[in-house]
Amino acid sequence: MTNLTQFSFLILCAYFDFDLFMYFCFIFMMLLYIFILCANVFLIVVICVNRSLHEPMYVFLCSLFVNELLGSTGLFPSLMDQILRDIHTVPTSLCFLQIYCLYTYANVQFCNLAVMSYDRYLAICFPLQYHTRMTSKRVALLITTTWLYPLLAVLILVSLSSSLHLCGNIIDKVYCDNYSIVKLSCSDTTVNNIYGLIYTAATIVVVLLIIYSYMRILRVCFSGSKQTRHKAVSTCTPHLASLINFSFGCFFEIIQSRFDMKHVPSILRIILSVYFFTCPPLFNPVVYGLNIRKIRLTCKSVFFGTK
């Protein structure tokens, strides 16, 4: 019978020997993290202090930027610390804390994108009824649901995983991952697997809602006037770009977790595994800042004093 062992630390074995590039990689990651923090905090402040941006679309954007701060902070400090280490270990408690932060980030991101697609659906498909449907109470309810559901869902997920007995402590990742923890278990994981299926099904439903909203928007675009098409394209392009970018990263992460990718160069596997924790927080502030006119004009007035 296998001995059940609980470990006080876990080993992240996907790191390779950086040698002379160690400090270069550390500085690069630090600068990337600082840029992500500054860009997202700046846009949060711009939206909060400017009364003309106190509309549902910008409130949802603010929620998106706050979530990107959560995801980046869940990954970058740990990543920078591990780059400077010779032995890539992490205390088990901190590992589960990182899982909670990263999985919450991923779920809030999908929920936020779903809420934003619903907001654009109402604005484009029902423009005359938009303000009566998207009231401040409904906005508050949507924001609360966007955060409360992932916080509780991921808490249950992590609680189930943290109660497992582990037969090993080596994770083939550069960060802690719930699926990798479950694979290390030598106790019964039936409950974890059932909850994992429910959790995955709920995420798929959210994705389907996003797709449905944009299909309805596209239908209105093709059948509407030139003005309607222009409005739809100008407001939906950043949302669609954000969705595609995030979904692209999630797709590669799922492929890596479920299939043997050892034939892929380690550096490429690392880049793909951290893609959807690094690129959306970097990509979204730039895309929304440049493409949404009100935000672009507000940023211009802050930097250049123009109106």
Arithmetic mean of pLDDT, 258-287? 79
Here the tokens at position 72 are: 């980046």
246 Cβ contact list (under 8 Å, min separation 6) = 109, 110, 113, 276, 280
Q: What are the pLDDT digits (tens) for 41-92?
A: 988 988 888 888 888 988 999 999 999 999 999 999 999 988 888 778 899 9
Q: What are the pLDDT digits (tens) for 181-219?
A: 988 888 888 898 899 899 889 988 988 888 888 888 888
Give per-residue burial for 163-185: e unless 16+ CB within 10 Å, then b: ebebeebebbbbbbbbbbbbebb
Arithmetic mean of pLDDT, 211-233? 76
251 Cβ contact list (under 8 Å, min separation 6) = none
Q: What percent of the chain has pLDDT over 90?
A: 30
pTM equals 0.88
Q: Using CA atoms, how far apart are residues 220 and 243, in angstroms rounded to an integer? A: 20
* Strand ranges across the sheet with 170-171: 89-91, 9-12, 170-171
Are β-strands 89-91 and 170-171 bridged in parallel, bridged antiparallel, or unpaired? unpaired
Q: Using CA atoms, how far apart are residues 99 and 103, in angstroms rounded to an integer? A: 6
Q: Using CA atoms, how far apart are residues 173 and 175, in angstroms rounded to an integer? A: 5
Here the tokens at position 223 are: 């059948």
DSSP 129-188: THHHHS-HHHHHHHHHHHHHHHHHHHHHHHHHHHTSPBS--EESSSS--HHHHHHHB-S-
pLDDT at position 225 over 80: no
DSSP 93-106: HHHHHHHHHHHHHH
pLDDT at position 14 over 80: no
pLDDT at 123 (0 to 100): 86
Q: What are the pLDDT digits (tens) for 127-154?
A: 888 889 999 999 999 999 999 999 999 9
Sign of the CA dihedral running 209, 215, 217, 219: negative
Arithmetic mean of pLDDT, 266-294? 80
Domains of the chain, start order: 9-304 (1.20.1070.10)
Q: Using CA atoms, how far apart are residues 146 and 115, in angstroms rounded to an integer? A: 8
Q: Using CA atoms, how far apart are residues 68 and 108, in angstroms rounded to an integer? A: 9
Q: Cβ-count burial of 257 within 10 angstroms (0-12 exposed, 13-18 middle, 19+ buried)?
A: middle
pLDDT at 240 (0 to 100): 80
pLDDT at 4 (0 to 100): 43
Q: Using the structure block, give the residue that is written with the tokens 């093709």.
A: 222
pLDDT at position 3 over 70: no
pLDDT at position 108 over 70: yes
